[in-house]
Structure formats: C-alpha cells, structure tokens
Amino acid sequence: MSPLPNLAMQGRGGAMHTGAFIGVHATRPRGGDGRLKRYWFVWDDGDRYLVQPLDGAYQPAGDVRPVSAATFRDDFEPQPGILAVPLRDFEPQPARDGVQGGEAGEDELEHELRAGFALGMTRLRNGDREGALRLFEHVLATEEGVGPVHKHLFTEFGIHLRKRRLLKTACDFHRRVLALSPEDSHAHFNAARALYEDGDIDAAVRHLNHSLNISPDLEPASLFLAYIERHRPAGEGAGSGGTTTGTTQETRR
C-alpha cells in the first residue's frame, strides 16, 4: 500500500507516471565534488522508486526515471527541510457548492495543504512521529479558504493515514470531509473504513447505512456492511476491531 497520495506526474517528454510522493532527496555525484548535491523529487512505487531531477529553484529539470530500492537506499538522502512538492496535473473543475474550481487562490491553497501533508509524511518516515502529528493537525485545522471543493484532499490524506495505521488522525480527516460534504455517500464509506479499523464497529455500521441511504447502489458500501455482519458475533457492540483484507475498496469523489 502506498503511504502517500498517488500523484500524477508528467515528465518533459509528456509521459504520465504514478507513485506515492515521499519528498525531496539529494545525491552526491560519484567521483566529483563531495559538496555538490543534486536534488530530486522522489515517489515510492512499491519495489522501486521514481525520481525526477530538480533545478536550483526546486523545479522539475528532467524526466521521471526509475531506480532500484538498493540504489535508492545507498545513494539518496532525505531532505526534510526542503518543502518543495510537485503539483498534480488536473483539469479545472466545474463550480461545486458555490466554489469555482481552477482558480489561482484555490490552486495555491491546495499546494500548501499538500506541502504540509507531504512534510508530515517525511517526518513520519524519519521517525519524528510527534512532529508529523503536529503537521497533520495543522493541515486538519486549516479553515481559511477551505470549502467542499477541497474534500478530495482530506479524503486522500485520511486514506493514506489509515494505511499507515494512524487511525485516530485518519478518522479526524474523514470527519473533516463529512463536515465539508455531509451527504457524500463516498465520504461516509471512507469514514467507516477508518472507524472500523480503529475498533469503533458501531460507528462504522452507522456510516455505512448512511452511505447506502444516500446511494443505495454504492456496491463497496454494501459489500463492506455485509462483511461486517458476517464476521461480527451476534450482540457484539463497539470496541471490537479488525482489518478487512480484499473485501472493500476506497471510494473517491
């Protein structure tokens, strides 16, 4: 499972790539000036890594290329103090709930939210759990300019925190999505996933039922609810937990 939101990347040649962005890393040229570093965007792509060279302003300066896990471990050093993050390629979205997608201010806010989350994930990978949680809380508490158009961001963040087993923080992100869009059936489904894995089975069932009341044909929600009912002993209440394997899927809006 990828620890960070899967981002679309486009190299200068136009080819699209996917991976989980894990921050800026640096390498030193072999046989060259030991003080000279080269900086890269890095994405975790499962059994390998994808890297993209950066210029002096931390902007992409070449195509995305794969490197092996062994090469990455030996040659690349994380640079948690560099906050540069790639921007996702996207099409301007139609107006939703009175907010027009694709506006410059909105783009800047999305970039800032992603940057804060990416830095938090980098700190988490480097063992600074408390620092990571403070950054996640800062992202979560952002109010100015945030509206329903941003719910996809908090959804992504919640899903990936759940996959990293930061379950209570993941639940908080999904609650933020529901505050932005309370009648979003997909948001209730994703909240149910996090709550279930955090052990709050009754709350998970409530959100699944709410999801199906809104969208009766939402198959992932019905499958997940059926899974819980099959595996939950009769009369069992909140406080039991578990993790589904291969029975459900995240839904995104």
DSSP assignment of 35-82 equals T--EEEEEEE-SSEEEEEEB-TTS-B-S--EEEEHHHHHHH-EE-TT-
Is 10's pLDDT higher than 50? no
Token pair 């090469």 is at which residue?
71
Q: Band of the pLDDT at 22, cuts 50, 70, 90?
A: confident
Residue 125, pLDDT score: 84
Superfamily of domain 149-253: Tetratricopeptide repeat domain (1.25.40.10)
Residue 51, C-beta contacts closer than 8 angstroms, at least 6 positions apart? 25, 40, 41, 42, 43, 64, 65, 66, 67, 72, 76
Is 29's pLDDT higher than 80? no
Containing H/E element for 153?
helix 151-163
Measured CA to CA in angstroms, residue 19 lies from 24, 78, 88, 125, 205 at distances of 14, 17, 12, 16, 32
Mean pLDDT across 205-232: 92
Tokens (6 digits) for 177: 């999505």
Contact present, 159 and 202 (Cβ < 8 Å): no
Containing H/E element for 8?
strand 6-10
Contact present, 25 and 183 (Cβ < 8 Å): no
Rounded to an integer, what distance in angstroms lies between the CA atom of residue 252 and that of residue 230? 26
Mean pLDDT across 215-223: 91
Rounded to an integer, what distance in angstroms lies between the CA atom of residue 195 and that of residue 180? 18
Contact present, 51 and 79 (Cβ < 8 Å): no
- In this predicted model, what pLDDT tens digit does every residue of 127-170 receive, in sequence order? 889 999 999 999 999 998 899 989 999 999 999 899 889 999 99
State whether residue 194 is helix, strand or coil: helix
Domain spans in the chain, listed from the N-terminal domain onward? 6-78, 149-253
Rounded to an integer, what distance in angstroms lies between the CA atom of residue 6 and that of residue 12? 19
Is 239's pLDDT higher than 60? no
